[in-house]
Structure 1
Amino acid sequence: MSEIARLDALEILDSRGNPTLAVTATLGNGVKATAKVPSGASTGKREAVELRDDDLARYNGKGVLKARAHVETEIQNRVRGFDANDQAALDKALCDLDGTPNKARLGANAILGVSLAVARASAADRSLPLYASLGNESANLIPAPWFNVLNGGRHANNSVDFQEFMISPVGAPNYSEGLRVAAETFHALKAILQKRGYSTAVGDEGGFAPQLKSNEEPVELILEAILKAGHQPGIDVVLVLDPATSELFEDGEYVFAKSDKSRKSPEQMIEYWTRLLDQYREIWALEDGAAEDDRSGWQQLTKALGNRIQLIGDDNFVTNPKIFRQGIKDGIANGILIKLNQIGTVTETLECIQIARENGYGAVISHRSGETDDTSIADLAVAAGMGQIKTGSVSRGERIAKYNRFLEIERELGARARYAGASVYERWQAVKA
């Protein structure tokens, strides 16, 4: 009795107060599970389409009643009776039903809600945690998180062009200790900002969003906070940057509109990153160091820095297996950011992770700036053996929910739990050498 019996959808709010979907899948034996769909602000042009109502009389046009209706009518009629334990067949049926290359007809939010809700129902039906159901019962690697502690770009109304400044506690012996190190650093950073008269209001993802003097000052502040918290930069904690350069790219140049108003060619942008890495050896990864439309810039960046740090593609790959394969052929990046709602089904997401593994690319699972309290990405990271995750700061409940889920998984696994920080740290040491 593991067949899909019913689908229900509900228009709920995400962490930015915008509508999104919650989908509940009920199986023939009465087992049910719910998935809540996130939404991005800084989005790639080739992402799967998030269907909105465009009715300005409701939620400024951002309502999702059309997507909700698709779940409860057309999609439900198609998948009722499907075996909930055959995720691949379900997801193929969803893609075929939509019939577009970017899920624009039914909406990626509707399709993902169904795909993920059924995955959760299948796990419950088999009395397994989601990570064991999606992976296998030997899945035991808990990723090293990237904690977003300072926000800029489209995630904050301040003078910083770059979107995210993150820390990763790679030197911790286990996940729970890594979480402690991150929280201590976060509070140390808050104290430093307060002492200097800076605002400690937070941005969309829970990081602080003060008015700062430059795009480099956040790095200096974070390094000071790591030391103040009693930890060693580059040993206990490394830094990760996501400048979201697609948001800066205009007419073939990178425009620092929020800070010094400067313009940089792709070559000058690579020179900028090289100087920054020379100055701050604690930076371990750079996400979206070139814009999604700057293919040549990505290739040059990869040649220049690909053997030095992680270069993670997000907007240029959009968790799309076809696009990702072409990017690998083109020699772009050495890692990929994985976002469920960029592609819209669990199966395609897992395919992208497998492509990364087969080609020696890193894979980092990620939240979105418009989040919910759904913790599925934590389980997915463990299921796929992904060594790194970004899901916001150590503030805001929708972010903390994911971090607390890892604590639960660590406890469930007991002595079998492995923390990926050690492998990240070893690679970091090799790079430094």
Structure 2
Amino acid sequence: KELEKSQEDSAGPIPPPQTLPPPPPPPTKKKGQKPGKKDSLVEKPIAPAEPAEPVLCGSMAIGAVSLAVAKTSAILGSNPLYLNIAFLKHGQEQSSTLTVPLIMASVVSCGKSSPGKLNLMKEVICIPHPGLTTKQGMEMLLEIQKQINKTLEVPPPPKAENKKGHNGNKRGQQSLTGRMSHLGCLTLSCDTVEQPLLLLQGVCANLELELGTHLHLAINCAGHELMDYSKGKYEVLTGTHKSAAEMVDLYVELVNKNPSIIALIDPFRKEDSEQWDSLYNALGSRCYIIAGKASKSISKLLEHGNISIPRSHALIITHTNQTTVSDLVEITNLIDSTKHIAILGSTDGESCDDSLVDLAVGLGVRFIKLGGLSRGERVTKYNRLLTIEEELVQNGTLAAGAAAGELPGLLEPIFPTEVVEQSAQS
């Protein structure tokens, strides 16, 4: 008992229970604020990225064997590959003439991997006027590339000092610098959306070319690379993020200011289907909306028979993995039947094989996207395109201007060439 008593004495008095503070008063409504209205709109959360489509192990061998069989058949029949592909697609209904697809050539790159702040323009692409031959268009693009190189070699003029010292202790505008990318074009260090477009405008002015007349522009936005999932927004410039809805306004403003832009490639992720619809409705009458990486694989497109998601004018198809030549014929027939535009594109890790060009001519696609005019694996394909055009001219089987589509009418030749002289003599 004495031990219990001593423990009670050492414990001391029991403290009274603590009272919780009263809850804070409800926030007062602002003047004129309607009941139920919030101060700021809550942004809709973005859809998570779809899981990548599984690739069959060793599937590249399937596509390679299919192409090898097609090439062997052409050799045994003493026919060029593009003619065999055309017979495979059209059968007995094969037309007596073939068209050469329009070139989509990358001239500069300002994407996510570029050293500057600008991320939006993975590829700025030039499309020569359809009234020009392939040779004329390539000569024009080579002149543009040379002029860009000269512009980058010229050092910027020195900046005058002001009262605050050098440039007012503020960061001055960076000079454009470039290095060759795997895409076959120069990667520029740009900090604004306008910089690469102004560069091309100046280059064309020096060459007495007019954007929107002699050539047109396309922008590969690579929207899937711009998404910052931690913020749920697209990082257009380093540190500058925009929601999917804001991106629609950005593209509309960009095309309004630069009407020579006639195509936007992958402006969004494929998951942002609502914004694809909005952009199509806003710009669809004057600008191609093109799905590249945003489109499903060819095998999935053929399986579902639906190429309308995301909503676009055109699809970029590639010969890769398990895609066979027969698959390419089927998908181009599906694209043609739905009044879409087929574009045959090269992959990033492209080989020096030039069969891709024969596939493009034989399949009758509207455009061919081969990257820039540099690097051997891309130059080989451009040379093959020139060779095919020359063969068609000599055989009298080239359909002149048949691939013009919605682009403006024919122009006088800019760079006279032997190809034009031969066609005039015939």
Equivalent position of 2:380 in the other structure: 401
Offset of residue 172 of structure 1:
4.2
Deviations 1:199-246 (A, max 9, x none): 332111111112112133112212222222232210111001001001
Offset of residue 150 of structure 1:
0.6
2:378 corresponds to 1:427: no
Equivalent position of 1:130 in the other structure: 81
SS state of the match for residue 320, structure 2?
Answer: helix
Equivalent position of 2:129 in the other structure: 170
Closer, same or farther: CA 411–335 of 1 in aligned 2, 3 Å:
same
Q: Note the residue ranges of structure 1 that are not aligned, 5 or more in a row.
A: 1-43, 50-103
Q: Which segment drifts farther, 215-224 or 193-202?
A: 193-202
Closer, same or farther: CA 328–220 of 1 in aligned 2, 3 Å:
same
Offset of residue 272 of structure 1:
0.3
CA–CA distance in structure 1, aligned partners of residues 176 and 387 of structure 2: 35
CA–CA distance in structure 1, aligned partners of residues 73 and 285 of structure 2: 41
**Does the aligned pair in 2 maintain the 1:319–1:342 contact within 8 Å?**
no
Equivalent position of 2:169 in the other structure: none
Offset of residue 374 of structure 1:
0.9
Equivalent position of 1:145 in the other structure: 103
Q: Output aligned runs, 1:78-227, within 5 Å.
A: 104=56, 106-136=57-87, 138=96, 140-154=98-112, 156-161=114-119, 162-195=121-154, 196=156, 198-227=176-205
* Corresponding pairs, count: 330
Q: Output aligned runs, 1:30-429, within 5 Å.
A: 46=52, 49=55, 104=56, 106-136=57-87, 138=96, 140-154=98-112, 156-161=114-119, 162-195=121-154, 196=156, 198-251=176-229, 253-256=232-235, 259-320=237-298, 322-323=300-301, 328-330=307-309, 332-341=311-320, 344-414=323-393, 415-418=396-399, 420=401, 423-424=404-405, 426-428=406-408
Deviations 1:52-73 (A, max 9, x none): xxxxxxxxxxxxxxxxxxxxxx
SS state of the match for residue 148, structure 1?
Answer: strand
SS state of the match for residue 209, structure 1?
Answer: strand
CA–CA distance in structure 1, aligned partners of residues 297 and 100 of structure 2: 21
Which residue identity is paired with 2:407?
A: R
**Greater share of helix residues, 1 or 2?**
1
CA–CA distance in structure 2, aligned partners of residues 226 and 192 of structure 1: 12
Q: Note the residue ranges of structure 2 that are not aligned, 5 or more in a row.
A: 1-49, 88-93, 157-174, 410-426
**Does the aligned pair in 2 maintain the 1:145–1:169 contact within 8 Å?**
yes
Offset of residue 198 of structure 1:
3.1
CA–CA distance in structure 2, aligned partners of residues 182 and 194 of structure 1: 19
**Does the aligned pair in 1 maintain the 2:180–2:187 contact within 8 Å?**
yes
Q: Output aligned runs, 1:14-33, within 5 Å.
A: none
**Does the aligned pair in 1 maintain the 2:99–2:403 contact within 8 Å?**
no
Deviations 1:138-181 (A, max 9, x none): 45211111110111325645433121111011154311111111
Closer, same or farther: CA 376–392 of 1 in aligned 2, 3 Å:
same
SS state of the match for residue 341, structure 1?
Answer: coil
SS state of the match for residue 186, structure 2?
Answer: coil
CA–CA distance in structure 2, aligned partners of residues 277 and 229 of structure 1: 23
Which residue identity is paired with 2:142?
A: A
**Does the aligned pair in 2 maintain the 1:244–1:289 contact within 8 Å?**
yes
Which residue identity is paired with 1:123?
A: A
Closer, same or farther: CA 300–372 of 1 in aligned 2, 3 Å:
same
Closer, same or farther: CA 261–420 of 1 in aligned 2, 3 Å:
farther
TM-score (norm 1): 0.70
**Does the aligned pair in 2 maintain the 1:310–1:334 contact within 8 Å?**
yes
**Does the aligned pair in 1 maintain the 2:289–2:312 contact within 8 Å?**
yes
**Does the aligned pair in 2 maintain the 1:254–1:269 contact within 8 Å?**
no
CA–CA distance in structure 2, aligned partners of residues 361 and 123 of structure 1: 29
CA–CA distance in structure 2, aligned partners of residues 343 and 302 of structure 1: 31
Give aligned-pair identity as a percent.
26
**Does the aligned pair in 2 maintain the 1:45–1:315 contact within 8 Å?**
no
TM-score (norm 2): 0.71
Offset of residue 194 of structure 1:
2.1
Closer, same or farther: CA 229–318 of 1 in aligned 2, 3 Å:
farther
- Structure scoring higher RCO (CA < 8 A, sep ≥ 6) equals 2
CA–CA distance in structure 2, aligned partners of residues 389 and 329 of structure 1: 21
Closer, same or farther: CA 326–126 of 1 in aligned 2, 3 Å:
closer
**Does the aligned pair in 2 maintain the 1:158–1:209 contact within 8 Å?**
no
CA–CA distance in structure 2, aligned partners of residues 417 and 230 of structure 1: 29
Root-mean-square deviation (CA, aligned residues, Å) is 2.5
**Does the aligned pair in 2 maintain the 1:207–1:395 contact within 8 Å?**
yes
Offset of residue 260 of structure 1:
3.9
Offset of residue 294 of structure 1:
1.6
Closer, same or farther: CA 243–271 of 1 in aligned 2, 3 Å:
same
CA–CA distance in structure 2, aligned partners of residues 147 and 45 of structure 1: 31
